Amino acid sequence: MSKKVLTIDNDPDFQEALTVILESADYQCMQARSVKKGIDLASHIKSVLIILDVMMEDISLEFRFAKTLRDRVTECKNGYIPILMMSSVQKILEFNIQARTGMPLLPVDEFMDKPVDPKVLLNKVQALIS
């Protein structure tokens, strides 16, 4: 049985690219194009990983979603779900997001810059769910 990965990104082309990469490694992809839809899916499906874009509706919304997921981990029926955040915002803002992962403001497990290298992505996904 393939493991489910929830991808939350408002770019349909990037969503499709992620799906192709992940499904080539036998992961099942669930897609959300908004944080609201992502919250709904995260509460109803048992996923092993969430891949979350930084800039969608509101730059702070994605960070708040990650924090809410972490705050609710003990009540969540799915248990702990790793979050891989990705964006091109780090290059645009010249702000080192990766150095801040795991901190209260950025409670995600890993950060990747877009565009992604498929092999690097699959290695990170495997490391996060192992």
23-69 confidence digits (pLDDT tens):
999 999 999 998 888 888 888 888 889 998 877 766 677 777 787 77
pLDDT at 80 exceeding the cut of 70: yes
Check which CATH number belongs to the domain holding 108 and give it. Answer: 3.40.50.2300
Neighbours of 129 (CB within 10 A): 15
Q: Which of 16-25, 49-58, 106-115 has the highest mean pLDDT?
A: 16-25
What percent of the chain clears pLDDT 70, i.e. is strictly above it?
76
Q: What confidence tier does 74 reach under pLDDT thresholds 50, 70, 90?
A: very low
- Look at residue 60 in the predicted model and tell me its pLDDT: 72
What total of structural domains would you count in the chain?
A: 1
Task: Quote the CA–CA distance of 126 and 118 in Å, as a whole number.
Answer: 12
Which pair of structure tokens corresponds to residue 37?
């839809």
Task: Quote the CA–CA distance of 11 and 51 in Å, as a whole number.
Answer: 13
**CA separation (Å) from 82 to 1, 6, 78, 79, 94?**
19, 11, 11, 10, 25
More confident residue, 21 or 100: 21
Task: Quote the CA–CA distance of 7 and 4 in Å, as a whole number.
Answer: 10
Which residue range is the domain that position 85 belongs to? 3-129
pTM of the model: 0.82
